[in-house]
Structure 1
Amino acid sequence: MKAIWNDTIIAESNDTKVVENNHYFPQESIKSEYFKPSNTTSRCPWKGEASYYNVEVDGKTNKDSAWYYPQASHAAKPIENYVAFWKEIKVTE
C-alpha cells in the first residue's frame, strides 16, 4: 500500500493493518521528512487518544492529515504507533 499526497509517496508498506476502513501504516514505513508533529489530539471511545501529524510536501502543508495512537487502548494495541491518513491523502495499492 502507498499513501500519496501532492504527487509524492509519503508512506509505503506491505504490512498495513485495516481498522474501520483505514489502512494503518507501520511507523517505520512513513517517510519522516514529510511529517511534522501537530499539537492536535482527539479521542476515540475504543482506540484511545490520537496524536496528529501535519504532512508537508514541496512547501504545501496538509494540516492534521495523519494520525496515530501512541498509547492505544488494549483493544487497539495492534495499531499502536501505526499511522493512518485522510484529508486528500490517497491510499492505494
Structure 2
Amino acid sequence: MSPEAAGSHAEELSIEPFDGTVTVRFSDAVIASTRRARILQEPGREPVLYIPFEDIYFDFLKRANHSTRCPIKGTASYWDVSAVGDGARNVMWAYETPNPVASAIADHGAFDERLVSIDADPIPDTAHRPHLAE
C-alpha cells in the first residue's frame, strides 16, 4: 500500500469507547474482562475490541516470537495462551507503541475471535426507551 493510500485510510480509522462489558474466555478460563474496552473501526474490516492491559490476565499469556506490521497502526506483538490444559498460538495482539493515529490503543490487547470467546454486552440505552401511555 502506498503512503498516500495509508494516509487516506488513517483518516477513516476510528477508536471509540465501548459502552458496556467485554469478557474474553479461552476454554473455561476468563482471560480478560473490562468495562473500559475501545472499539477500533477501519474501512473494509470488522470492528475490533481492544482491552486495557490492566484488565487482561497475563498469567494465562506468554509473549510469542511473532509480529506483524500495519502501515496505519504500526507493529503488533503477539501472545500465546495456555489455560485449563489447552493452548493456542498468537491469540492476542497489541500495538504497544502504535503510530500516532492509533495512540488510543496503546497498552491495549485484541483477541482472535476464531480462538477465543468474546462476549460484548452493551449497557442498555434507557434514555431512548419509549414511554407507554397510562
Hey, what does 1:75 align to over in structure 2? 101
Hey, what does 2:38 align to over in structure 1? 17
How far 1:39 sits from its partner (Å)? 1.0
Question: When the two structures are aligned, how many residues end up with a matched partner?
Answer: 93
Hey, what does 1:5 align to over in structure 2? 26
How far 1:90 sits from its partner (Å)? 1.5
User: Do the aligned residues in 2 keep the contact of 1:4 with 1:91 (CA within 8 Å)?
Assistant: yes
Q: AA paired with 1:77?
A: S
How far 1:52 sits from its partner (Å)? 0.4
User: Do the aligned residues in 1 keep the contact of 2:29 with 2:84 (CA within 8 Å)?
Assistant: no
In structure 1, how many angstroms separate the alpha carbons of the residues matched to 2:89 and 2:48? 18
In structure 1, how many angstroms separate the alpha carbons of the residues matched to 2:70 and 2:39? 16
TM-score by structure 1 length? 0.94
* Structure with bigger gyration radius: 2
User: Do the aligned residues in 1 keep the contact of 2:28 with 2:84 (CA within 8 Å)?
Assistant: no
Report sequence identity in percent: 27
User: Do the aligned residues in 2 keep the contact of 1:23 with 1:91 (CA within 8 Å)?
Assistant: no
Hey, what does 2:59 align to over in structure 1? 33
How far 1:59 sits from its partner (Å)? 2.6
Runs (4+) of structure 1 moved beyond 2 Å? none
User: Do the aligned residues in 1 keep the contact of 2:77 with 2:96 (CA within 8 Å)?
Assistant: yes
Q: Which has the higher contact order (CA 8 A, sep 6+)?
A: 1
One of 117, 127, 131 as aligned partner of 1:90 = 117
How far 1:55 sits from its partner (Å)? 0.9
Hey, what does 2:132 align to over in structure 1? none
TM-score by structure 2 length? 0.67
Gaps of 5+ in 1: none
How far 1:73 sits from its partner (Å)? 0.3
User: Do the aligned residues in 2 keep the contact of 1:17 with 1:24 (CA within 8 Å)?
Assistant: yes
How far 1:91 sits from its partner (Å)? 1.2
- Partner secondary structure for residue 25 of structure 1: strand
Calculate the aligned-residue CA RMSD, in Å: 0.9
Hey, what does 2:90 align to over in structure 1? 64
